Structures are given as structure tokens and as C-alpha cells.
Amino acid sequence: MEKKINFLYGRRSIEEFIQKKIAEGSDDFGIREVYTKRNPSLDIKEILSQIPKKIKVHELPPKELDQRFPTINHQGLIFNLHETKKKDYKKDFHGLKIYLETNKTPVLILDRIQDAGNLGNIIRTAECFGFKTILISEKDSVGITEAVARVSSGAIHHTEIFTITNLFQAIELLKEKGYWIVATSDRGLDTWDKVPDASECAVIMGNEKEGVKRILLENADFVCNIPMHGSVSSLNVVVATGIVLDRIQNRN
């Protein structure tokens, strides 16, 4: 199992993280220390100029930086975050209940997404289409890892992500709050024009191989299908998510 977020890397992801902290007016960025290559480039220096001066910055020779972080594409810059900041990335069912008291935004529900690249790209896609509230299943899911954060290209810092033990229970809560549950299946019979406005929708996207779990599919208010016109009968979950969110958000 890949370790959860403790290090943040990838310049785009770091830039988005900093901009969010600045927008929040935060004087505590939650950064323990920073590692960068010796004689950093101008763009890295610009990034470093925006963080609080009290944060320790370690400049290491490129070879030593690679040895210290051998499995990641760090691009010459790594933020070591405080452990307590993990809570920013993992909220539970109780937190969702509190959040929904004052927030009504389109919701994306992710059922057992197991590939870090897929999850990161889905989060990025969801943020682009205005689905800034995301629920992920706790069981059989990759979870929010360093790789997921990097692949999201900073989108993770502009979304609210809740890790849910029981997605069925979460769906029932969303229905109580006035959401319509939308899912896709190759046997779906509902038409896209009947689906309510995006602000009232919670969209379920399923596991890479098995799709949406049957109990969740049966609890959906709308089950639509994505028309296929080629010889291949299935889509990658990232592509499918983009198509579904676009159909819901960008109807004329």
C-alpha cells in the first residue's frame, strides 16, 4: 500500500497548494520543511519566495535529492507537510454530514477506484467540470496518496474529498439533502435530458473492471448509458467520467 500524503511534489501541484493557502489568508502553510536542488532555477526561486520565511529550505545536490526521493518525479522541489495536515485530505461520513449543512455543490462518488493515475486524473477532471465535492470508498480504493495528488495537477487543493466507509449510507444522506443520484451502465435506459441540473446531482463512477457496485446502481435515480459507435465496447474510467460530467454540466 502506498503511503498517504506527507510529501507534496510536482511544481503545478505545489503552485496550486500555495495559491490556495494565500487565498485563505493562512500564515501557517502546514509545511514542515522544503527540499530543493542546489542552485534552484528561477521558477523554483519564485515558488520559494511565496512561502513563510520561517520554513527551513534544504538545498541538496541533484544526485543526493534523487537518492533521498528515488521513486518520485520531484522536479527539483519537495514539500514535507506536517502530519496533522493529512486531515485536509481525508474527511469521513460525519464530516460529510456537517459539510452538507452549508454546502450544495455537484457531487462525484467514486466506487473502488484502485489506480492512482486514474484517481488523480478523475479528481482533476471533476474540478474542471465544477464537481468539487468528491466521495471515495474507503475499501478497495487507492485513497489519496502522494501520486494521486501529483497526477491531479493541483486540483486536489480545490476540492473537498471525503473517504467514506459505506457509500450506500452516503447516498441515502445525499438523497435526504435533495440530491438526485446518477449512474451509468451499458443497460441504462434513462436519457440525459431528463437528468436534473448539475447542482442537484451526485454522480457515481465505478471500479475500473467491475463498474458501479450493483447495490449502488440499484439505488440510483437515473441510470444512463454512454452511446458507443466503435468496435471497442468500454471506456477508461477517466474518459468515461469526463464524458458524463460534460453531459451533465454543459447541456444547452
Are 93 and 165 spatial neighbours (Cβ–Cβ below 8 Å)?
Answer: yes
For the record, the C-alpha cell of 85 comes out as 495536515
Which DSSP helix (H) or strand (E) runs through 60? strand 56-60
Are 98 and 14 spatial neighbours (Cβ–Cβ below 8 Å)?
Answer: no
3-state secondary structure at position 158: helix
Domain ranges of the chain: 7-88, 93-249
pLDDT of residue 89: 42
Compute the CA torsion angle 80, 153, 67, 86 (nearest 10 deg). Answer: 30
Are 191 and 227 spatial neighbours (Cβ–Cβ below 8 Å)?
Answer: no
pLDDT in tens, the chain (252 residues): 344 558 888 888 898 889 888 887 877 788 889 999 998 899 999 999 999 999 999 999 989 998 888 877 888 999 988 764 444 444 899 999 999 999 999 999 999 999 999 999 999 999 999 999 999 999 999 999 888 988 998 898 889 999 999 999 999 999 999 999 999 998 899 999 999 999 999 999 999 999 999 999 999 999 999 988 888 778 999 999 999 999 999 986
Q: Say how far apart CA 199 and CA 105 lie, in whole Å.
A: 5
User: At the topology level of CATH, where does 7-88 sit?
Assistant: 60s Ribosomal Protein L30; Chain: A; (3.30.1330)
Q: Dihedrals φ, ψ of 71, to 5°?
A: -105, 5
The alpha-helical segments, DSSP class H, found in the chain are: 11-23, 42-48, 62-68, 93-102, 116-128, 146-151, 167-176, 214-218, 237-249
93-249 belongs to CATH 3.40.1280.10: yes
The model carries a pTM of 0.75
pLDDT of residue 86: 42
pLDDT of residue 83: 61
